[in-house]
Chains A and B, each alone.
Chain A
Amino acid sequence: MASCTILEGSAHKMSADADTTIKMTLYRLIAETGRVPDAGEVAAASRFSEADVLSSFTRLHARRLLVPEPGDPRRIRMAPPFSGIPTAFPVDAMGKRYYANCVWDAYGIPAALHADAVIPASDAVTGELLTLEVRGGEPVPLPYLAHFAVPAARWWEDIVYT
């Protein structure tokens, strides 16, 4: 019994280590390219098989660290603050264009990259261009507002909408 417990603990640590490595590979590729890679690309850039990467994506989703593309677990819709698809929140930083999931994540990208950024966002009603900027580690002061429609306790009930 004790040996089983030891083996289970060892397997858990191995999967946790794999998840960390795979998550770091995923984020490194995003930072370097501006694009969210799929499971095959993460596998090719790491020592893991695509099946290992897919299993890891599932565990990382359960821990609310990634959101897979609905209907296609090989692709990632959200690796917060990055979006796997173009959105209304493009972020230009380090000579690349990234996409954020929402206005919070739009600031989250320069915060994560520790880089200056220009964010050509827009008013959610009028579509007016509202360009945000981060310069020298601080946001350029602007009078605009963010609105959170969903309370914190319900963010993950539909995280794509949130």
Chain B
Amino acid sequence: MLLFRSEETVDLWCESNGVPRRPLITLDQLWQLSVAWYANRLTVESRRPAPDEMVSVFASIGLTGPFWDPRSDSFGSTAPPGPT
């Protein structure tokens, strides 16, 4: 997950790495994700969100669809949807 000044540099990176352009995230959205994932990471109760919780977190900041679903097989995943 990389940082870019603009959509132009995102496109340059995708082109040079031969990968399709994926959804772009604003820094405000990124901060909300970081808080949801990590705010309790240094506590005994810390655990990664379960797959359905991940989907809810993404949806709460407007990130929906198979790209954001760890249970999706739309991208040829063979990885089991484990806890994070």
**A interface list, Cβ under 8 A from B:** 20, 23-24, 27-28, 31, 63-65, 80-81, 89, 102-114, 121-126, 128, 130, 132, 134, 138-139, 141-149, 151-157, 162
Contacts known (A64-B48, A125-B9); A151 close to B24, Cβ less than 8 A: no
Query: Chain A residues with Cβ under 8 A from B83's Cβ?
Result: 63-64
A-B pairs, 8 with minimum CB distance = A107-B34, A153-B77, A124-B2, A108-B38, A102-B1, A146-B25, A112-B41, A112-B38
Q: Is there an interface contact between A126 and B72, defined as CB atoms closer than 8 Å?
A: no
Offer 13 A-B interface pairs, CB within 8 angstroms, sorted by A: A27-B42, A64-B48, A64-B84, A103-B30, A106-B3, A107-B31, A124-B4, A124-B13, A125-B9, A147-B22, A153-B71, A154-B75, A154-B77
Chain B residues whose C-beta falls within 8 Å of the C-beta of A141 in the assembled complex: 27-28
The 8 Å CB contact of B79, one of A111, A114, A128, A157, is: A157
Q: Known interface pairs A64-B84, A104-B30, A155-B70. Does A148 touch B39 (Cβ–Cβ under 8 Å)? A: no
